[in-house]
Structure 1
Amino acid sequence: MLKFSNLTKTFGDKTILNNVSFQINNPAHLHVLTGESGSGKTTLLNIMFGLDHDYQGKYELFGVDSKTYKNKNWDHLRTEDIKMVFQDFKLFDQLTIYENLYLSGDFEDEEIYSILESMDLLSLKNEYVKNISGGQKQRVAIGRAVLGSPKIILLDEPTGNLDGMTTDKIMEYIIKIKNKGILFFIITHDHSILEYADVIYKLENGKIYETYQKNENELLENSPNLEKVKNIKTKKHIFTYTFLSMFRKKKRLFC
């Protein structure tokens, strides 16, 4: 699904990713990439999602060199096959939870309600996003990404803004969805996530090392930090959004 060959990314004189090669083909697996802040995790995620094409080497997505994809191809991929949950959620605060999911694509109410129920959000479907907690916003963002059953979901620090919600709780939702056959790739510096991972990678000094595979029950020899890891147990939607936004602003002005 995802393959990197001799990938190098630089910013000025600084090398962020240095001749990186690895591939991910496992559906229904949870892949976790750890690394210090500023190590390049988000840069890699942006490349995966087609937001950054300024690199050397090769990145193949679904067997195709990603640099050959045109904008319309990326639009289709991001609608159907690969979704991303951003650290700041990218939700519309002035709309309800239901409206955020409805406006994300051409989905039937039955599918939206099913996702809301699986994320324990159905009773809050008419609540404005601006009024809910960080943990609830995270669940809305994950639920929105799951709509349409994409092949891959990328998550940027999913436990970074939980407002007291435990990592265990949010990971329970992710594991439940993963078991439906979706490949999850998470970047994080939260080591408590690692116990849920099927595969763990470490980004350090521009290199990516695979440090653990769940089925092997032991860390791989090329890990730079073995002991540290071992100790961790459509158009109508645009119109509807514009109309609702204008209506809400007018209501605030005159009420």
Structure 2
Amino acid sequence: MVELSIIIPTIRPESEIDCLRYLDAQEFDDYEVIIRSDPGASKARNEAIKRANSEKLVFLDDDSMPRPGYLQAVSDALDEHDVVAGRVFQPDDAVITYKQLPWYDQGDEGKYTDLVVGCNMAMRKSVIDAVGGFNETFFHGHEETELGRRISQQFDIWYEPSMVVEHYYAFSVRQYWEKSYRHGKADADWWVVDEVPLSTRLRKCLPWNVLRRQPVETVAMLVLKFGRVRRLTAQLLGLVDIPERRQAHGNASQVRRESSEGISPLSSGRD
């Protein structure tokens, strides 16, 4: 049995998964990589969990860039804790650096937290057995946050600053606006899961905080403000876009890139 099962949801071909070359450069080599292309990050991760051969599960995005020593740090952390959240830095050339991302870098010291991020987190498979997997209502966005909320009701989540990954929040202003729109749809899905009354959902979508008269002092603030407008638009559309219908559409257009067993046949390459 391998020490770590690394799970990466993606729609990219393997040759374009940046994360793999960073993993291959690690000194630690007792791991497997499970890549899934199922529709939606939640479903892809759940399917990968079913096929994992290790008790220790590591969740990365296809564009996560683990720093040297990352895998050893994950393995050590999971010897002491059931669930760990890692530290995330944006690269020096990142475009969106002015948005507050408290779930990325939580400081220099280890501590208990309720913040997790899908591009850098790990847990024991027994945790998934206890609380259930990722909620597949969430097609893209909030799936790790919702899972973290369920986990925190039964387990402590440890923030481990030595588990460092570099990750762009967005590669460009345009991608940031697109991401804001997707997260707006995810907001609407969250309200369905939480059974938020329709009247409350509508109030949440009112753009008073965005459209009130305030000077736009910098281009950066203008970018953030338009991103917020995009998110509000998606929230409103999400009120009438039933998650189950969107999931069914995703199933119909699923891109299959699997071996006969349903996983990409990748390992550390140094077995």
Q: Could you state the TM-score of these two structures normalised by the residue count of structure 2?
A: 0.22
Q: Could you state the TM-score of these two structures normalised by the residue count of structure 1?
A: 0.23
